[in-house]
Structure 1
Amino acid sequence: MDKLVNDFSFGLFIWQIILFLLLLFLLRKFAWRPILNAVNQREEGIKNALAAAEEAKKEMQNVTADSEKLLKEARTEREAMLKEAREIKERMIAESKEQAKEEGDKMIKQAQAAIESEKKAAVADIKNQVAELSVEIAEKVLKEQLSNKDKQLKLVESMLGDVKLN
């Protein structure tokens, strides 16, 4: 350090300062501006990329919210459709039961009417048969009465034994 202080030259120092300032001026004009421009462009690019990423994130959130909204609406619509289908099914079952009951009642009434008709026909047939038998018995009794009273009683008893009432 002593040597530097002893060998110090003021003119050389001025020239070195001038050259240093010239070097700084040249570096500033030709190197720092392009370097700073490149750094600024890079910084701007990063800001734009971050802004684009933020915008994409917001857009993704909007799309997610929209898709969730659509999914919720679809679920609501599906539930409404299922409810409507259940109501239609229940209504159809109730109508079918009512119709089956009406047809069953109708068939029962028809069967009862047929049974009543058959019953009336059977009673009428029995009355006719009884009337015919009564007439035949009366006829035979009258014929036998004219001939013999003992025979008439035996004949009536045998005819009554032959007739079976239901």
Structure 2
Amino acid sequence: MEQLLENFSLDLFVKQTVLFVILIFLMAKYAWKPIINSLNEREDGIKNALDSAEKAKREMENLTADNERLLKEALVEREKLLKDAREIREQTIAKAEQEAQEKASKIIEKAQEAIEREKKVAMAELKSHVAGLSIDIAEKVVQGELSNKNKQLKLVEDMLVETTLN
């Protein structure tokens, strides 16, 4: 420290101080303003970027909420469509079963009508056959002894016993 004091020059000190003040003045006038403006612009840019990021974050949250709401609505709609499809399927099955039952009833009814017709035809044929037998009996009776009435009655009774219907 002593050596510093020994080599101290007032002239050099004043020159350096003046140069330092000029340098500070020049820096303040020409360099500080652009540097500060640049720093302020950068700060504003960072602030705007942060605001934009926050805004984007809020928008993403809103979009996520909208997506979740749309997904829930889609699931509800899907369930409704599935329920409607099940109901339509059940109605279609019930209708098909009813139609099948009606067709089966019609077929059974037609079959019963056909059976009844066949039964009537068979009865008519049977009656025709019985009438033919009756005529044959009558011919035999007539051919037999027409003079003896007791023989004719006995003959008719015998033939009726032989041809009894089941």
TM-score (norm 1): 0.80
Q: Which runs of 5+ in 2 are unaligned?
A: none
Greater shift, 135-144 or 2-11, is seen at 2-11
Distance across 2 between alignment mates of 1:164 and 1:13: 166
Cα distance in structure 2, aligned partners of 1:3 and 1:144 = 189
Q: What is the aligned partner in structure 2 of residue 133 from structure 1?
A: 133
- For 1:52-63, list aligned pairs within 5 A: 52-63=52-63
**Which amino acid in the other structure matches residue 6 of structure 1?**
E
Residue of structure 2 equivalent to 1:40: 40
Q: Distance in 2 between matches of 1:74 and 1:59?
A: 22
1:51-90 to 2 correspondence within 5 Å? 51-90=51-90
Query: What letter matches 2:16 in structure 1?
Result: Q
Task: Give the C-alpha shift of residue 133 in structure 1.
Answer: 0.7
Q: Which amino acid aligns with 2:90?
A: E
Give the whole-Å Cα distance in 2 for the aligned partners of 1:164 and 1:14. Answer: 167
Alignment gaps of 5+ in structure 1: none
Taking every aligned residue pair, what percent have the same amino acid on both sides? 54
The one-letter code sitting in structure 1 at the alignment partner of 2:91 is R
Q: What TM-score results when the alignment is normalised by the length of structure 2? A: 0.80
Q: What's the Cα RMSD here?
A: 2.6
Deviation at 1:119, TM superposition (A): 0.7
Structure 1 position 91, deviation (Å): 0.3
Residues matched between the structures, number: 158
Q: Any residues of structure 2 matched to 1:8-157 within 5 Å, and which?
A: 8-146=8-146
Structure 1 CA distance for aligned equivalents of residues 104 and 7 of structure 2: 135
3-state secondary structure, aligned to 2:144:
helix
